Structure formats: structure tokens, C-alpha cells
């Protein structure tokens, strides 16, 4: 079975940007986008149009006390994770996740100015910024950080890498705990990685980051 062509995907790019396609259609389209930068850029451009359309909604004063309720909720939260990159891997992590991350990327992440690359992780559906991914060189590994993003906080996801050669590599299954997880890259050179994606068990990308 062959996938859709670029023309097929371009025809449905608006539907994808607006999130008006069915789950099955979405899976087919996203599979194409995962390996086609031009079509991905097209959908991203249309996503920007959608964002601007949302802005036509007139402002409206919220109910009395809204500001106080928001600020009270913010004040009740523990210090959010990832505020300082040098502490990204450790703040608030469960013991198992912290050990895993430290084993993979510890020294590189904890040393300011270490040999790392970071990029914003964006949800495939809707283009929402949900966290970030960090690649480390020594040891070679990735750290996914999507704390607070409900779909991914404590679930396993398959990791797929897109290399600069255009080749896709299924890295393995990543267990996220409190939105954090790490994985070793084995023999893959971190410098060759241009995109990291998390996939559901059915193979649908749920979020990704361009490095």
C-alpha cells in the first residue's frame, strides 16, 4: 500500500491545520508529514492562518474574581519544572525517572554550556507548544520534557528520529514519568538528528520537535 502524494496532502492541508479530519485520515496525513519537510511547512503556514483567525474574537471581560483565581492557582503550584536548563533533568522528577535521565544525559545537562541541542516540542494536533527535547552528545541521548501536558505525562510512547539523510529510525519505547523521559541514542550521531517525534502505540505522531 502506498501513501498519499504531496498533491494529495496539499489538498487536505487546510483540513489538517484546522483539525477537521477524521482520525484515520489524520494518521495517513501525519505519516506523510513525518517524512516530508515541504508539506510539513505548508501545514505549519496554514496553522498560522488559523491562529490569526482566532484573534478576530473580541475581548470579553471575564467573570468577577477571575484574575484572583488564576493567580491563586499559580501560587499553589510547585515551582514548574524546566525553568533553568541546568536543572531541567532533576527538578521534581520521580526517583526512577531521575535515575534514568541522569544515567543518560546527566553530566552533559548539568554542566552549563555542555554539548547539548534543544528544540521546542509541538503537538501534532493543533501545533501547541507542549515542552522541549534535548539532545546530548556525550553520552549520546535525548531527554523529552513535556511536564503538564496531560496526553503524555505518564505514558509510554515510541520514539522516532528523522535523520538529516532523510532516513527515519524507530528508536524504541520511551516511558514518560511526570512528563519526563530519556533514551540513549546508541550508535546514532546526535548531530545527524533533525527531528524527534513521539508516536502512539498505533504509530500516530503525537508531538515532535525540529532540531
Partner 1 sequence: MVRCMHDAADDALLAAMAAGDGDAAVVFVRRFQARVFGVAHAVLGDRDRADDVAQEAFMRAWRHGDSFDARRGSVVSWLLAITRNLAIDNLRAQRIRPTDQLEAVIAQVAARDPDPASAAMLDDDRRRVVDALRDVPHEQKRALLLAALGGRTAQEIGEIENIPLGTAKTRIRTGMRRVRAALEDQSPVSEWDER
**Only segment of 66-74, 90-98, 155-163, 167-175 that touches partner 1 (CB under 8 A):** 66-74
Least distance between partner 1 and beta carbon 40 (Å): 13
Nearest to 189 by CA among 167, 205, 207, 158: 167
- 35-64 residues near partner 1, rule: CB under 8 A: 45-46, 48-63
d(CA 23, CA 44) in angstroms, rounded, equals 19
Site string for partner 1, 13-32 (x = CB under 8 A): -xx-xxxxxx----------
Q: Which of 3, 5, 66, 138 binds partner 1 (CB under 8 A)?
A: 66
By beta-carbon proximity to partner 1, the closer residue of 64 and 187 is 64
Least distance between partner 1 and beta carbon 21 (Å): 8
Nearest to 104 by CA among 148, 59, 139: 139
Nearest to 191 by CA among 165, 168, 157, 158: 165
Helices (H), 77-153: 95-110
Q: Are 129 and 120 in contact (CB under 8 A)?
A: yes
Cα distance between the two ends of the chain: 31
Contact between 96 and partner 1 by CB under 8 A: the answer reads: no
Site string for partner 1, 106-145 (x = CB under 8 A): --------------xx-x-xxxxxxxx-------------
Q: Which residues contact 119 (CB under 8 A, 6 or more apart)?
A: 132, 133, 196, 209, 210, 211
Q: Which residues bind partner 1 (CB under 8 A)?
A: 11, 14-15, 17-22, 45-46, 48-63, 66-67, 69-71, 73-75, 77, 79-80, 82-83, 120-121, 123, 125-132, 147-149
Amino acid at each position: 500500500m502506498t501513501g498519499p502524494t504531496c498533491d494529495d496532502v496539499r489538498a487536505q492541508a487546510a483540513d489538517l491545520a484546522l483539525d477537521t479530519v477524521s482520525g484515520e485520515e489524520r494518521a495517513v496525513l501525519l505519516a506523510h508529514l513525518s517524512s516530508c519537510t515541504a508539506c510539513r511547512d505548508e501545514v505549519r503556514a496554514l496553522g498560522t492562518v488559523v491562529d490569526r483567525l482566532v484573534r478576530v474574537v473580541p475581548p470579553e471581560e471575564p467573570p468577577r474574581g477571575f484574575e484572583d483565581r488564576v493567580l491563586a492557582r499559580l501560587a499553589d503550584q510547585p515551582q514548574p519544572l524546566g525553568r533553568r536548563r541546568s536543572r531541567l533533568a532533576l527538578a521534581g522528577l520521580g526517583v526512577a525517572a531521575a535515575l534514568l535521565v541522569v544515567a543518560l544525559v546527566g553530566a552533559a545537562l548539568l554542566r552549563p554550556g555542555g554539548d547539548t541541542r534543544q528544540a521546542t516540542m509541538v503537538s501534532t494536533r493543533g501545533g501547541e507548544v507542549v515542552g522541549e527535547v534535548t539532545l546530548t552528545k556525550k553520552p549520546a541521548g535525548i531527554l523529552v520534557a513535556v511536564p503538564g501536558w496531560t496526553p503524555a505525562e505518564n505514558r509510554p510512547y515510541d520514539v522516532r528520529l528523522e535523520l538529516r539523510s532523510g532516513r527515519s529510525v524507530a528508536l524504541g519505547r520511551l516511558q514518560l514519568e511526570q512528563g519526563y523521559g530519556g533514551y540513549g541514542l546508541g550508535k546514532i550521531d546526535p548531530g545527524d538528528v533533525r527531528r524527534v517525534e513521539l508516536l502512539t502505540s498505533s504509530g500516530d505522531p503525537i508531538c515532535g520537535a525540529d532540531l
